Structure 1
Amino acid sequence: QERGPRPAPQAHARAPQPSAAPLRITRSRTAWALAVFFGLQATAAYITMGWMPQIFRDAGVPAGTAGLLLAVTMAMGVPLAFVIPRVATRLPRQGPIVLALGGCGLVGYAGLYLAPAGGAWVWALLLGIANCAFPLALTMVGMRARTGAGVAQLSAFAQSTGYLISIPGPLLVGVLYQHSGGWGLPLALMAALMVPQTVVGVLAGRDRTVEEEATR
């Protein structure tokens, strides 16, 4: 005799899982601090990539050497992208790393103003270190939320807002350079932007999560 198809086993009823409270990410001061930090570090990186070779060339550095100096600055991010996140995750607060990177940036910009050709290699190295705020920002995104959903929401907010903040910087540097005829004002702007970048970076590096601030 042919047997009919067996009835499918009934699925066991599962108890409804409590849904996580929604995050109102814009209410989180940490999220805003991280977004501004992300935007200002991107501003510094774009300005460096776009204008640093011209700064050296205007100071009398040969074009080939100016390009090599930019390559050195960018290459600094490769080893430090592995070191900085490891150090950051072992610290409850990432403020000391932010301060160290900001200090390197300020010294680098001051050097470009005072002796751009004489200390070119030193300034390139220091600005390369300062630009490693990018892997630090990404690391802090993962540390400032307790859940995967929180990390995803914080990452989307910080990066989208940050990249919007970074748009005017390189354009403004070009305008200042054209109207002033030199690099004094643009370098002053670069150094000035490093100050709020450091301040919000210290705030973003505090030991807290966005769930504590943005959960309704």
Structure 2
Amino acid sequence: MTVFFWAMLILIGMVVADFFVPMLPSATLVTAAAGLVFGNPLLIGVLLVGAAVASWLGEFLGYRLFRSLRAGLASRGPRAVRGLITGTVAKLETLLQRTIIDHPYRTTMVARFLPAGRTALAWAAAGTAKPPYARMAALGGVLWAVYSVSLGLTIAWIAGPGLQSLVGSVVTMAAVGLFLGWVARRWQRTHPDLPEAAVLAIAAAPDAEPAAADDEARAA
């Protein structure tokens, strides 16, 4: 149990850090851990809850950081936003923000399983007006934890617990990541470019509203 306790602390730290460093293999770690605790319902439950809570914590902390960053950019004017968010990134961000506004929970369910999806989702949500992000992050964390743990248990059930399960988890998660990355790139190519004005307006929201009012007053 002592080994499992320290392993859980490392796993939680990896899942939280994965938000800020998306290349960290947190999903692979959770999947492999599930295979190693195969057959122990208590440890499986602890792993499931720990992964979900760590995912939510990382996303919520990142979201608050992004809100502060975007507020600082908006206070410096549209040029600061344009300098940071341009081209394809701006197009994808605008599409993501529109879907967050219209369908926040559906967007979470899709974005959470794309490569670096949780980071992109938080950044885009930070530029929209008061999204239900705490609930979005909770939904994403639970779905991701259930998926990762279930996949690890399935691999362990097929290959048996231990080293074979560990190798199977690594290979499977790598294959899933490559497939989802291909889907994301294909989706990106099928969407047309969006107007730059719309990109900047959404990228600066909601903090840019007072600045916009001042610009209108000066123009009048």
TM-score (norm 1): 0.33
Which structure exhibits the higher relative contact order, with contacts defined as CA atoms closer than 8 Å and separated by 6 or more residues? 1
Larger Rg: 1
**Structure holding more helix per residue:** 2
TM-score by length of 2: 0.32
